[in-house]
Each structure stands twice: as structure tokens, then as C-alpha cells.
Amino acid sequence: KIAMAAQMTDAHRRFLQVLMSHGIMEGSVARKLYRRCCEIHKVYYAHDKLDDFIRTINSHLQPLFMQIRKGLSESDGRAHYALVNLAETEITKMASDYAENELELFRKTMDLIIFSENGFASSTDILNLADQLQTKKMKKKEAEQLLKVFVEDKWLSERDGEYTLHTRCIIEMEQYILSNYQDVARKCNICHSLAIQSQMCESCGIVMHLPCVRKYFRAQTEPRCPQCNDCWPFD
């Protein structure tokens, strides 16, 4: 334990503090922050050792049931780092920030997104749920405002009136989603992380993230499923 404690420097602490204030950080930003923290505190820096640097922080976070986790954006495949509370794997971790009916709307929004074919739910469908809440009904104006807050807090992402789960949400809630949506939740066949926005093989049922599809089929003239070798039916 004494040896472990010696590994944790002020550079590690600064990195953790900045990540905590952001909640989630894109990979290139995390790499710049890692370099800056090492420079400020005169700690050895190696450009390809960010994951080792984070591993040291995680060894100290373990007793606190917290961890910095790496995940990929479903839209562009870029790496992100998020600080995750391991002690609470359910949506209850959001309970300190939101009222009961706000959490219910989030759960119902999550249902719409996960059960959809493309991993998105329209604002119209979400707002229609506002006056059907069991806990306390919500006016559409309130629901509209709440959706903005979910986006600001990085639980949802919005594009042209369509909502999906933010990368932060997927990293934090992956185990919750996999255990609570067992019939529909799937892992990507390529990167093996939860796939919400994905394409599915019509023959064998495997799914792949869109960036993983692009990467996997880049060198193939005739795209075929990596599992069953049938023709891949999508662009």
C-alpha cells in the first residue's frame, strides 16, 4: 500500500480533479491534460502512457468504489474518459440531481431509445410521455426544459430533434442497461462495448457500431458479416 501511495503524484491528483469537474473528456483533450499535469508537477511524461497513468489513479480510487473508464463515442468512434461510481450501477445515481418524475421521464426516454431500431427517440415521442408519468405528470414545457438539462448534464445527446444516450451515459450505465434490457441490449461484435446506435446482421443477429462498421469494412470490396459471412445488407 505504501508503494502504491508513492505512485500517486500531484500530477495524478490534478488530472483527476479536472476530469471530475468535466464528468467526461474526449481522448485528445485527456491526452493534452495528461501532458500538462506532468509538465506542471515535473513528473515523467511519455505520450503513449496515458492508460498507465490512469491505471495508477484507478488503483487509488478502488477503495472509494470509483473508476475512470474509457468508452467510444457511437457517432464518430472517438475515445472518451469518464469518472464512474461503481457503488451505484443503477439510475439511482442520478437521484441526487433530479426529482422522482424527472427520473421517470429519463427511464421512459431510455426505453424509447433502446427499443428503437436506430438508437434514437424523437422529441415528439418523449414529450408525449410527460402527461403519462405515474409519479407526477409534467407539462410539455417542463419536459422540454428537462430534456435540455439532460443534454447539458451529458446523459442525452440531441441531433435535429432526435435524442440518443450520451457517451457518458453509456459508459456509466452499461452494466445497468445490459442487465435491465437483456432481450434487446447487445454488445458490438468488434469493440465489445454496449451498442445503442448500430447495424444488425439479418442472418445471425450480431450488431456493430456505425464507426466499427466503417472501420471493419474499409478494406473489403464485398462487405460480409464477421460472424456468419453473409453479405452485410447496409451501406
Q: Does 106 lie in the same domain as 33?
A: no
Q: Does 190 lie in the same domain as 156?
A: no
The CATH number linked to 223 is 3.30.40.10
- Number of structural domains (the chain) is 3
Q: Which residues pair with 163 in a beta bridge?
A: 121, 158
Residues 6+ apart with CB under 8 A from 73: 26, 79, 80, 167, 211
Q: Is residue 102 part of a domain?
A: yes
Predicted TM-score (pTM) of the model is 0.85
Q: Is residue 82 part of a domain?
A: no
pLDDT at 91: 67
Q: Is residue 2 part of a domain?
A: no
Tens digit of each residue's pLDDT, the chain (235 residues)? 444 444 889 999 999 999 999 989 999 999 999 999 999 999 999 999 999 999 999 999 988 889 999 999 998 899 999 998 887 655 666 777 899 999 999 999 999 999 998 899 999 999 999 989 999 999 999 999 999 999 999 999 999 999 999 999 999 889 889 989 999 999 999 999 999 999 999 999 999 999 999 999 987 888 999 999 999 988 7
Q: Is residue 76 part of a domain?
A: no
User: Which residue range forms the structural domain that includes residue 213?
Assistant: 186-234
pLDDT at 17: 97
pLDDT at 2: 40
Q: Does 148 lie in the same domain as 106?
A: yes
Q: Does 107 lie in the same domain as 161?
A: yes
- Of 172, 200, 216, the position where a domain reaches its end is 172
